[in-house]
Chain A
Amino acid sequence: MMGSLAFVTPLLLIGLIALPILWWLLRAVPPAPIRRRFPGVALLLGLKDDESETDKTPWWLLALRIAALAAAIIGFAGPVLNPQQDRAGTGPLLVVMDASWASARDWSGRIDRVEALLEEAGRAGRPAAVVQLTDLPAGDLPLQAASAWVARLPAIAPAPFAPDYTAATEWAGGLTGPLETYWIGDGLAREGRRALAGALSDLGPLTVFESGRDVLALGPPGFEGEEIRLPILRLAGPGTGPGAGPATVDVIAHGLDPAGLPRDLARLSVDLDAEPPEAAFDLPAELRNRITRFEISGIRSAGAVMLTDDALQRRQVALIAAQSEDETQALLSPLHYLRQALAPTADLIEGALGDMLLASPDVVVLADIATLSPEEEAQVVDWVERGGLLLRFAGPRLAASDVAREEAGPLMPVRLRAGGRTVGGAMSWGETRRLREFDDTSPFFGLTIPEDVEVSAQVMAQPDPTLAERTIASLTDGTPLVTRVGLGQGSVILFHVTANAEWSSLPLSGLFVEMLERLAVSTRPAIAEAEDLAGTVWTPEQVLDGFGTLRDAGIRPGVAGEDLAVAPLSPDLLPGLYAGGDRRIARNVITADTVLGPASWPANIPVEGLDVTEPRDLMAAFLAGAFVLLLLDALAALWLAGRLSGIARGAAVLAAVALAPGLAEAQDAATDDALALLATEEVTLAYVITGDDEIDEMSRAGLQGLSNTLFQRTSVEPAPPLGVDLETDELAFFPMIYWPVTADQPLPSAAAYARLNAYMRGGGMIVFDTRDAHLGGFGSATPEGRRLRALAAALDIPPLEPVPPDHVLTRTFYLLQDFPGRHISRDVWVEAAPPDAEQIEGMPFRNLNDGVTPVLIGGNDWAAAWAQDEFGRPLFPVGRGFAGDRQREIALRFGVNLVMHVLSGNYKSDQVHVPALLDRLGQ
């Protein structure tokens, strides 16, 4: 979209007339000749030019020069794109802003627009007023000089709620015109917007400015199975077509980590084009219970934040029953009905009491457990005192034990009479008992008692002065059914019946579930209802501002419960977290019934975008263009004169320098692939490049010799060995890496160590060779040994032992007991056998090391013994005479065994089981 073009000093454009004169001048001047020293000039004497082309300046060079000059003239004339045009208008100016959470996202854009409007008004000398509809001024319109408002603009912030248009219309009705109004809208459809627009346009002309950006908001969380789902509300801005905005947003679950520090607990990318866009978090209970809020990442708006309260949390309930469950059938299990009742709404853990207390459950359920060990009891008491809820169920064991006979004890609400009672059975008097209506002090007050709930057996409480206050549910005959006592910050509750259907039908009824819910054993309060909260006062703990920043509520006054539930958000009821007693309720900007719709305006009101079109000064562009053209001209002139070769080379060097990083990367990638291909097409042995050329060459020759031997003698047919640079090369392709240790080898970087450790964990083997034939003191004696120690310090090396005589290395291909290289030291170390390795019956070896030893450490200079030239002749002398040849042969055999061990693992170890396997097959 091109705007208009204007010039600051148009007179300079007259200079363009001079261009034809320049044309004529330039044509007359040919390029200067170049002088060259050249001995062959003697041969040139007497030759004639057959053409004289470069006598005159070529036309394209002329055009280039004229274009450069024209660009310079135009540039100095000062061209400006989109010159600022003035908005006409007189009289006082009113700027009203919706200033709601929906405008927070591009608040700075709005403020910029208001600033531009105010500055314009300031230039015209108009008084102005800026009014936030979320914060209507009391009294008269605060008309001031526009510049005063500009200074106050940074202090204006959006509110975390929607403006009340009814109040605003009333307020607008009290104003006197004429008044020109600019309305910075937030783009959302709201009740009463048209009425306010009407009221304002009655005062004078009204112009509306709206942002073209999307409005995004996060809906309230809901459970679907284990998943928490949050809908994402989206209102596509008028300036953006479908899919024009970001296709995905990140939703973050924010909370405290175990150390108590606030951080992101989970992050989810949500596709906005999905129907409907929704963030589904599937989190472990520990994490979920710690979430304090969800927010859309990168969007600063109160609507993009969803605070969470108790509704999101699930209690952790520890279940303990007396008997082992395998012995009884499921329906008779004391925990079956508890599990059924709690599983949908709570997280159940089962196990040993001590272990479960470590997980700090919210509730511990003891089903028919009579006694705890003194130690356990102390732990449980401690836990209850810190706020735990202990829920006990009676049962045959409790009835039979003499727990709480003499006194209640800390973990029993009441004293119990011995034996309990049975009613309504075949062998007893009376009828089965029903439950009495809950009285209003009971936490169960208000629950309806089904007709079919009957109690046929129970444990009986001793009459006691405190019994009445501790009873929270009783039978029709007045005997307590559920008793409760506080202990420290927590409480202990006893159901006088079993948790299964043995003594009563209570666990079969829906009442059981409701009772557990009331006892906050399983908690998931629905959205707080006004009548539930009536008469309570909630104090704000934290409140949101319009940008979605959570801040401490400070000394804000408390809020009535019914207001908290239903009243619209206002300056007195900010969104935030409200606490009352031990419950917390979050009030959010977005509720389940929030719908985002586009604002509609009366047709006669002009609606403009927010964007301020900046005047663009094109002078710099034109002058830069002229400069570039002049540079081109210089190059062309050089080229014409034949002097370009050296300069071109310089330019090529410059270009190469500029491109070098990219090229190097490309090259890296290419070499990586090449290495991968080289290393994976065949089995490839590798050695570590130490930086010492001689040693590297020996390693290569050694592995080449070993590869040749493998090729000749075994089915392993390796490719030529490769050197690996630990810093840059991928190691995973190589079954074995030979690492000759030199005294002055640099230590690999941390990244290289990480790769080495990953390599060894992934089944690779590193053969360290100190080449000093002296490993008696395990590395302390020689410089190489010390270096090996330094090198291996950061490696994840398992416990080592000298190769035991029954190690699988001794028999993977050849039967060997010595592992000589150029030296014949016996000290070769491998991963130690597990301590529980046992002798295999009838075999001379133990059942050993599953897997490949990740390291093999020795100092026998194997590469030198293996080394062969391209004709297969040994490169280095080994030993003397025949004995030396033998030693070389054994060294090669050791190499073969080594590679076989790496490639086939403990296969040969497993061979001992072949007789047993055959035996079994034969059966």
Chain B
Amino acid sequence: MTTTNAISVSGLTKSYGDQAVLRGVDLTVTQGSILALLGSNGAGKTTIVKILATLLKADSGAVQVAGYDLTESPAKVRERISLTGQFAAVDEILTGRENLVLIARLRHIKSSGLVADELLERFSLTDAAARRVATYSGGMRRRLDIAMSLIGDPPVIFLDEPTTGLDPQARIEVWQTVKALAGQGTSVLLTTQYLEEAEQLADRIAILHQGRIIVSGTLAELKAMLPPARVEYVEKQPTLEDVFFAVVGADRSGETR
């Protein structure tokens, strides 16, 4: 069973007791694209990700991930997905390299050491490889977390609020990584509450509100729904972010490594 959709969800519902969290969610992610799922806290973004990652059972609805039905063959789905959770799920007591080797072994990759070293290099963590993760900064942890998700080249990746709690510099590093991923054909479902993040990264944007997707489309399509643009003359003040980068002298042009 093959489709051109990496993820297709229709009529997904989930309740916790009396409280309906998802009331019929429909969404699709085409292969090699990034879908940003936008929503406020408690909108049900994480619930959707948990269901798609086989961690939670839906009450009803049809879900296909990477060509497999979620309820019929969850094991096949698990071979083709990777989850980066809201709070970096890295082992603090192990070193960065040990974390990567462990995941490679659990994905049954023979040359686990080689894979680990390659990823350390790619994510600029080689110098910190032998240090315990407990000593890492927030940005380093998240880079390691994403590196762990890439082991075994899963075609579908879930990123649940990947930049929550990161400083601006680290956020831009994560953005560059995600863009590079989609460039290589990986399909990404990204949840975020930062509108700017969705604008920066996503091919398509879906807005989740009160358990349903109320709007979805490209950024241009979403903008077309608004009243037409008017021309106004406004003095452009630097944002605090502009000031921050001017002062610390970091490069925010977005060029990849």
Tell whether A pairs with B.
Answer: no
Residues on A close to B: CB < 8 A? Answer: none
Residues on B close to A: CB < 8 A? Answer: none
